[in-house]
Amino acid sequence: MTFSLRHITVEAAVREIEMRVVGVRAVGERVEAARRGLLALAVSVALVTILALVEAAGELSSTARTFLAAGLAVFVFLPSLIYALLPVGRLAGILPAKDLLHIAEVVGGYFPAIRDRLRNALQLARLTPEKDWVSSELAAHAIRGVAGDIAAVNLSDAVDRKPFTTARTVFVAAWILPLLAILALPGSFSGGLYRLWEYDREFTPPPRYTFLVSPGNVEVVKGADVIVRVDVRAQDGRRVDGDVTVAVLHRAEGQQDFERTSVYHDSTGSHTASLASLRFSTSYFATADGVESEHFLVTVVDRPAVNSFRVKLEAPAYTRLPVRVQEEFAGNVSAPAGTKVTITGSASKDLSSGAIVFGDSNRTLLTVGGDRFSGSFRLSASGTYYVHISDGDGLSNASPIRYELTVTPDLPPMVRVVEPGRNMDIAGGDPIGLLVQAADDYGLSLMRLGYRLTHSRYEQPQENYSYLPMPFDASRGPETEVSYQWDLESLSLVPEDVVEYFVEVSDNNTVTGPSTTRSLLYTLRLPSLEEVFTDVEKGHEQSLEHLDTALEEAKKLKEEVERISQDLKTNKEIDWQKQLQAKDLQKKTEEIQKKLDAAQQQLQDMTQQMQQQQVLSPETMEKYQELQDLFQQINSDELQKALKQMQQAMQNVNKDQLRQALEKAEFSEERFRQGIERTINLLKRIEIEQKMDEVRKRANDLAERQEQLRSDSTRSSTPNEEQVKQQQDLAAEQKRMEQESAVLQKKMEEFFTEMPADKLAELNKSMEQQKLDEKMQEAARHMGRGNQQQAQQMQREIGKELQQFSQQMNALQQELLQNQAQQTLSALRRATNNLLELSRRQEGLKNEAQSTPSNSPKLRENAQNQMRVMQDLSNVIDGLSELAQKSFAVTPGMGKELGEALGRMQNAMRNLDVRSGSMASQEQTGAMASLNRAAQQVQAALQAMMQQGQGSPGGMGLMQQLQMMAGQQAALNMQTQQIGEGEAMRRAAEAARIAREQEAVRKSVEQLNREAQGSDEQRRVLGDLQKIAEEMREVVRNLEQNNVNPETIRRQERILSRLLDASRSMRERDFEKKRQARTGTQITRRSPGEIDANAMERRTKLREDLMRALEQGYAKDYQDLIRKYFEELERVEGEESMQ
């Protein structure tokens, strides 16, 4: 680009051109100066490196090094400096600068567009037009043109920089040589360079060995031993062990000659010598093959030294720690803050002063006397300390030992709420039992309960916590466990209120102040009845759903077992597919068991919730517990075992074994399925009773809350919004109660023959006609308008109607329970009579078969009669099975005995078919014994119901109650003796059930004892009822632990004996007779002769008398006489069946 400079003068254009050329000259000089400087440095570095290597190799003398240094300075450094500074001198104007025409020529040569025009312009500027015959106008035009052409050109680019680049490369290369020397000969090269720098100094060559001598120069107390350790190393640093002879020489102060000391070479490679019992200052050194180490001095001083030192620790009183005296010279202290630390000791000489010096330079003066010293301080922080002592000469102990001071932390206390230890729902204002465990390393000073309301429908949440003190025994030590009953009544909680709480404890630290810890935060929530009953309903639905599913799958399982059995009967081959089917049956059984377990768990959770919220009557709660026991009895173990045996028989291809296994599997499957069906039917009936409890509970709750609201509104002049809202909520809950009562009616209609559904329908209709929910809404409107009198009048009427409905529901529930009990009692009495009648008939068939010859036609008649007995027994079994669907009174033991009797009868039929009367008689005897045992169990259930007051008209006298308890205890004794039969899980479940029944009898005995003490009948009670109750408590404990042993049986026998004694009247004879309990023994004897028909009639009559006596309350002596004779009869019959 060309710039027009026509507007400037020629002189300005010339100045511009010259300035640009001068700039180029300056750049060139700087580049040249840098190039020469780099070359000069490169030459200097190379020569110095060479000379240093020469010095390292030859170790020249100081004179030679001086000549070298002088030559280097004169012939190298000075010329290099002059060479490098010439361009700088020209730049500074000290030396003549290069001609601008030369520079212009160089620039013109670099830029083709300029060529000689720049040089010509400079020359024209130097000419005079008048003298040199030059046209001034042409010259001016040429100068302005050149100035314009170079205006946009960087003329400095014409400077040649390649020489500088070459010089830089040479400079870098020059440094390679010293770097290689340093890497190859680090020590030698650096030494030669140092000596070359110190050219006028003489250097002596290093010795062959160097010594590391310890302790070197040291100061010791008079009489001390000094251990000298010598480590000899060669010039290359290598340790010299056995190659040289090392010696240590020493000379005490005042001696002329050095003495040699024995040196020992230890395992570490060091040489050790001992200067023993030094009394004077001593110099010493080590030698090795004529090479001596530095001389060292051991200065012996007579300083005071600590000869004895002991620490006593007295912890603060709140820690309850004993005084502790540490071992001698054990100066480290670790103790709680506030501990008093007392130090005592003695020195090697008399002292003038002393102090305990701490790490922060603070000190505590010691008390000194002679060579003794003592002092104390309070431990407040961790650190260090040492004991400083001084003698009369001002000498102090040298290098005192520093000891550690450690303050052991007083850890904050710990607290844990063990019970309930979780967020939980509560029931009304019932107290909550808290079990709190707290601990501290030294003890607690405070425990309190903090709480606040965090949610409520009618109040604002509380921001601050309230506190209740929790008393505890502080003298129990650092750990304590506190049981605390938190009375929630004062909180006046309403449904859906939530209270959060914690337990706070403080330790007893009186030094730095107590530390406080809080437990985890827990919440208590008062659920509404609606929530509780909704959860219960959901639990029932889920339990029934699980049970229905299990029943459907059990039916399918039955069909598959029957299909396999049918294939076997048609002589089909058992292939691998059927084996797989049998294996699959086991898996399906396990799945059914899982559903049963899920239903049981759901039912258990639901029962616990209802029990906690107190929404069940005791009768309904007991049935829920019995239902839990029933779940324990529905166990698939027996069925799975039978299916496994069937699978093994298939694998062995043994049809006889397979047929037996199939029969067992079918029987086990039927029992398993019937158990599920019974559970479903009982659960449905219990659900109805629970629903009755629910409706009654809802009515009671509504009545109480309605009365409370009326009372609150009476005390206030004007109702607030909260009270209006409460009245509206009550109306909604009343409507909900009517709906639930209608649901209850519908459920009861399914069992209209058993339950008073018609009476409930009348109650519901009456409730609907009263329109209580509308009345409640009207009362709320009156309250909102301020019509207090009308609102309270309506509230009073509503409360009365709700109470009336609650009472009617309670009466209806009692009627339902009474009807159920009467039906169950009637069925049990009927079953007892039928079983006794069947036992009498079976006894006659047994006697007839025993005496009938094998060719007699009477055997056929006997078989026909046996068939009729079997049919009648089946009817009894059907009746008890039907009762089992309604009541828990039917136990698995009854079914077992009845099944055993039926099986014996079938065996007798087979023996009669082959005309074997004697064998048939034995089976018939066994059937009769099973019938008798079944009758006893049915009668025991009947007695238990009567003793509990179910179905009995009114109360009983003291003697009658004792008689009933004796009968119930006899039944429990028999059941306990039969626990040993069956699987382990079933034994545990049976023991748990008997334990509950035994516990109920125990509580009845205690209650009876309290009643007898205030009764005129006290003089008639001869037994110690309190001792009986204590014996029962031990029996309950053994049963709960499933630990039924001979002592348990004997204790139950003593209980029965004492109950019988206690029930005897003072007017009865044999008042002084004592009962003796004896354990059973095995008696072996020959069978008695044939029993005639008259004897059979008498036995039957005695059975009937026993039943009537137990049911109608005959005198106890008659009952004992009948029972003893009846038991003896059973024993004789049992021996006959074994013949």
Mean pLDDT over 245-269 rounds to 86
432 pLDDT higher than 50: yes
Choosing among 1.10.3210, 1.10.3470, 3.10.350, 1.20.120, the CATH entry for 529-688 is 1.20.120
Question: Is the Cα dihedral 867, 871, 876, 878 positive or negative?
Answer: positive
pLDDT at 599 exceeding the cut of 50 = yes
Q: What is the mean pLDDT of residues 20-30?
A: 84
Taking 70 as the threshold, does the pLDDT of residue 709 lie above it? Answer: yes
Residue 56 sits at φ, ψ, to 5 deg, of: -65, -35
**CA 69 to CA 65: how far, in whole Å?**
6
Residues β-bridged to residue 586: none
Going by pLDDT thresholds of 50, 70 and 90, the confidence category of residue 983 is low
Give the fold, CATH level 3, of 209-301.
Answer: Immunoglobulin-like (2.60.40)
CB atoms within 10 A of CB 13: 22
CATH architecture of structural domain 416-525: Sandwich (2.60)
Query: Strands 226-234 and 209-214: what pairing?
Result: antiparallel
Question: What is d(CA 358, CA 759) in angstroms, rounded to the nearest whole number?
Answer: 94
Q: Give the mean model confidence (pLDDT) for residues 255-274.
A: 84
Structural domain boundaries of the chain? 10-197, 209-301, 306-408, 416-525, 529-688, 694-817
Q: Are strands 444-455 and 340-347 parallel, antiparallel or unpaired?
A: unpaired
User: What would you report as the CA-atom Rg of the chain, rounded to the nearest whole angstrom?
Assistant: 59
Mean pLDDT of 477-490: 89
Q: What is the pLDDT of residues 110-123, one digit of tens each?
A: 888 788 888 888 87
β-strands 424-425, 324-325: how paired?
A: unpaired
Per-residue pLDDT, averaged over 531-536, amounts to 77
Q: What is the pLDDT of residue 1097?
A: 44
- Tens of pLDDT, residue by residue over 665-692, are 777 777 777 777 878 888 888 888 888 8
Q: What is the pLDDT of residue 362?
A: 92
Q: How far is residue 248's CA from residue 231's CA, in Å, rounded to a whole number?
A: 12
Higher pLDDT, 1053 or 1103: 1053
Rounded CA gap, 143 and 665, in Å?
Answer: 130
Q: By three-state DSSP, how is residue 600 classified?
A: helix
Mean pLDDT of 720-748: 87
Q: Which pLDDT value is given to residue 439?
A: 93
Tell me how far the alpha carbon of residue 335 is from its chain's centroid.
33
Lowest model confidence (mean pLDDT) among 17-26, 571-580, 628-637, 883-892: 571-580
Residues β-bridged to residue 517 = 505
Provide the percentage of residues in the chain whose pLDDT is more than 70. 82
Q: Say whether pLDDT at 952 is over 50.
A: no
Residue type (1 letter), 793: Q
**Distance from C-alpha of 598 to C-alpha of 544, rounded to nearest angstrom:** 11
Poorest-confidence range of 460-469, 568-577, 777-786? 568-577
CATH architecture of 306-408: Sandwich (2.60)
pLDDT for the residue numbered 1132: 44
Query: Alpha helices, DSSP H only, in 185-298?
Result: 186-197
Residue 287's φ and ψ, nearest 5 degrees, are -130, 155
CB 832 within 8 A of CB 840: no
- Can you give the pLDDT at residue 1138? 45
Q: Report the relative pairing of strands 444-455 and 498-507 from DSSP bridges.
A: antiparallel
Angle between helices 858-884 and 788-851 (to 10 degrees): 170
Report whether pLDDT(534) > 60: yes
Query: What number is the average pLDDT over the span 597-618?
Result: 76
| 3-class SS string, 938-970 | HHHHHHHHHHCCCCCCCCCCHHHHHHHHHHHHH
Cα atoms found within 13 Å of the Cα of residue 262, Cβ hemisphere only: 3
Q: Comparing 209-301 with 306-408, is the CATH topology the same?
A: yes
Separation between Cα atoms, residue 441 and residue 282, nearest integer Å: 57
419 vs 482: CA distance, rounded Å: 10
| pLDDT single digits (tens) 178-203 | 888 888 887 777 777 777 777 777 76
Quick: pLDDT tens for 997-1030.
Answer: 788 788 878 777 765 654 444 444 544 677 888 8
Mean pLDDT across the stretch 578-595? 76
pLDDT at 324: 94
Higher pLDDT, 131 or 143: 143
Q: What would the mean pLDDT of 363-378 be, rounded to a whole number?
A: 94
Indicate the pLDDT class of residue 1063, thresholds 50, 70 and 90: low
What one-character-per-residue DSSP string does 743-780 give?
Answer: HHHHHHHTTTTTS-HHHHHHHHHHHHHHTHHHHHHHHH
Q: What angle do CA 192, 193, 198 make, to 5 degrees?
A: 95
pLDDT at 959: 58
